[in-house]
Structure 1
């Protein structure tokens, strides 16, 4: 069996995964806080028929040897945490992070999730929650009849309470960052979870210790570049076609041997 058949098969499989990643990027071009996925490839092991530097004769050595590769594979997908375009919405509960950092969300079982989607709302108890109804942490609760809800660049939340005239501090939204944000586990729903690769979360005040500032009335859009994604899609398609042609050519060579030998 020709090794080229198996090598081209690995190329087809790898390009198929790459196309799936690009398709997901384009599907989420309008998803608030979405981060672009980048596929990482590596070549597979080599069959060393003649090692470099092997003795060609008593005096000379082989300069390069014979090393035949066995294809490629997808070794990982990497989230690219560059900032997306900021959209001004004018909605007081829309928050964007200008710079590094994640909001903290409390999961249904008490676990902590992380997100860059600051599209917040109020639930029936007046708690700030995300679009899935999961509460922000530290928890922020607004009383019924409040006015002038404000969030400072440092995350301090103030509002005028019923019957009052002066703003009252109701809490502070803190941010977290990670040593390796690309190592976070993506859960869907604009949520991430801590992993061994990401490191432990480091919590701090917005605008301090390398964390970004919070901007009220704005949302961070997806960082997917449509033109770049389309170019990647065309390059992947051509690579897939080339591997398919190698597969066809290898099959033709085997057919020729079967018919003539």
Structure 2
């Protein structure tokens, strides 16, 4: 009996050494969660009760408990390196099977899908059709776009200017955009875009009339007039009075590039008539050319953006995090992957930085939670435990040998 007790102690110490050895081996494994060997005593009983003098039967390994504490987050500067600061696991699809991980060392495969080193695809909530949010109940593989961003034709041009209050009528009439003496001032040209992303130049010319506080504006695109001249009227305080809404619609302009008709509106809200000098305070328009993919960026909320050279940011999805009521019940599949079990409870999937889910930190990785110093102490403790139980075996052997040698 006593031999078995010491043997159980040796086995327990050996299990502790195995767990400690595994922890130390994974001290540099991204997203690794250290384990702890937990033991229970063995108490054999016979009959219906236990004597107060009963002796236990040794120790046994009760469980190897994973410790899901937060690991240090180390910056890497690589856009597809992700770390979870808080609760939750990355949600992955491995050949159709749902698996979970805290290791965010992702990369792209030959088809542009974002995968971990084992090829499991990162799951995201897909964008809404209108681009205003994400489908909370619909998970999809994250795939990075490699196509160009489509152009957007200009529909609105904004000008904010100050016309000189003391201006006189031009000395040359009628107006001719080729003769600078036939107009007082011009905007110098605003770049606008057609439906194919080809740029054009929109220019506004300002001509003072004989009436006080009154001007005419002529609008051209690539030297072609787009509508009749529009009368601008200002109050005696210099504020724009007409057009009342500050908007001037252009006639449709048909580019020679094969693009569709360009229908634009000129918004001059906030323009004034002050002082003695012309001033163009602001120009803006809402179109853009096609763009090349510059980079992929990911926000703290897990939104994955494709950023293009034309300034457009396109949301490709939102990283999905999953949490469990009992993470220690997850089954460790190796390669930094876990799968759910009955003991872990049902998975809850949601967006980062919402409810009890943590934030996503891009350009960083979560380090192993193994404290090397503590593991070395555990190793010494298990070693002493092993030696002590071995010594008990030796002592018991000597006692047994002494009994056998009695004559």
Give the aligned length: 246
RMSD: 1.7
1:13-162 to 2 correspondences below 5 Å: 13-47=11-45, 65-108=52-95, 110-138=96-124, 139-144=141-146, 146-161=293-308
> Larger Cα Rg: Structure 1 or Structure 2?
2
Looking at structure 2, the residues matched to 6 and 136 of structure 1 have their Cα atoms a distance apart, in angstroms, of 50
The answer to whether residue 254 in structure 2 is matched with residue 252 in structure 1 is no
Give the gaps of 5 or more residues in structure 2. 125-140, 147-291
Aligned partner (choices 357, 362, 365) of residue 216 of structure 1 = 362
Further displaced range: 82-91 or 22-31: 82-91
Structure whose residues are more often helix by fraction: 1
Shift of 1:146: 2.4
Shift of 1:166: 1.0
SS of match in other structure, 1:208: coil
C-alpha contact 2:94 2:119 (8 A) present in aligned 1: no
* TM-score, normalization by structure 2: 0.58
Shift of 1:84: 1.2
Shift of 1:258: 0.5
Give the gaps of 5 or more residues in structure 1. 55-64
Residue 278 of structure 2 aligns with which residue? none
Shift of 1:190: 0.3
SS of match in other structure, 2:317: strand
C-alpha contact 1:48 1:67 (8 A) present in aligned 2: no
Looking at structure 2, the residues matched to 174 and 208 of structure 1 have their Cα atoms a distance apart, in angstroms, of 11
SS of match in other structure, 2:405: helix
Looking at structure 1, the residues matched to 311 and 375 of structure 2 have their Cα atoms a distance apart, in angstroms, of 51
Aligned partner (choices 353, 365, 381) of residue 235 of structure 1 = 381
Query: For 1:179-220, what per-residue CA distance to the aligned partner results, in whole angstroms no more than 9, with x for missing partners?
Result: 000110001000000011101110011011111000000100
SS of match in other structure, 2:385: helix
* TM-score, normalization by structure 1: 0.90
Structure whose residues are more often strand by fraction: 2
SS of match in other structure, 2:105: coil
Further displaced range: 77-86 or 134-143: 134-143
SS of match in other structure, 2:391: helix
1:158-237 to 2 correspondences below 5 Å: 158-161=305-308, 164-237=310-383
Looking at structure 2, the residues matched to 146 and 198 of structure 1 have their Cα atoms a distance apart, in angstroms, of 41
C-alpha contact 1:93 1:119 (8 A) present in aligned 2: yes
C-alpha contact 1:46 1:67 (8 A) present in aligned 2: no
Looking at structure 2, the residues matched to 239 and 213 of structure 1 have their Cα atoms a distance apart, in angstroms, of 42
